[in-house]
């Protein structure tokens, strides 16, 4: 399992463009630039509580997008299969190995 910062960064990569400019800005400051609530509130001339509330609302929105669209889950499943294909091809010994790699490629295509 990935940590919350990595998780939210991934959510921002996939769904960040669906947020408002302010939400994107604050989420970027917090999760990608590692700024504290206080630093963000100073930068934006607002309260720490407003920043905190915006982050929590934005996290909820991003998680909702993933629950409905599942792009991150599909991406992660494809990545796992590609890693397995790479291992098979590196250790290629038989026609069965090649068939297994081809079957995994077909699974990825069908996702």
Query: Which is more confident, 91 or 2?
Result: 91
Q: Report CA torsion sign: 47, 51, 57, 60.
A: negative
* Rounded average pLDDT over 85-102: 81
Asked if residue 17 and residue 51 are part of one domain, the reply reads yes
Provide the whole-model pTM: 0.77
CB-based contacts of 93: which residues, under 8 Å, 6+ apart? none
Asked if residue 62 and residue 9 are part of one domain, the reply reads yes
The CATH number of the domain holding residue 11 is 1.10.10.10
Q: What is the pLDDT of residues 16-54, one digit of tens each?
A: 999 999 999 999 999 999 999 999 999 999 999 999 999
Asked if residue 13 and residue 55 are part of one domain, the reply reads yes
Backbone angles phi, psi at 19, to 5 degrees: -85, 165
Q: Which domain holds residue 84?
A: 73-110
Asked if residue 13 and residue 64 are part of one domain, the reply reads yes
Q: Residue 89: its pLDDT value, please?
A: 81
> Confidence class of residue 1 from pLDDT cuts 50, 70 and 90?
low
Q: Residue holding tokens 């990825």? A: 108
To the nearest 10 degrees (0 to 180), the angle between helices 48-69 and 37-44 is: 110
Q: Residue 52: its pLDDT value, please?
A: 98
Cβ(103)–Cβ(88) below 8 Å: no
Query: What percentage of the chain has pLDDT greater than the value 70?
Result: 98
């Amino acid at each position: 399992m990935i940590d919350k910062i990595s998780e939210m960064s991934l959510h921002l990569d996939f769904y960040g463009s669906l947020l408002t400019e302010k939400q994107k800005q604050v989420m970027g400051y917090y999760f990608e630039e590692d700024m504290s609530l206080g630093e963000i509130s100073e930068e934006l001339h607002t309260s720490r509580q407003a920043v905190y509330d915006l982050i929590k609302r934005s996290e909820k929105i991003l998680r909702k997008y993933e629950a409905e669209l599942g792009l991150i889950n599909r991406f992660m499943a494809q990545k796992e299969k590609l890693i397995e294909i790479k291992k098979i091809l590196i250790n290629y010994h038989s026609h069965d190995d090649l068939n297994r790699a081809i079957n995994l490629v077909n699974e990825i295509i069908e996702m």
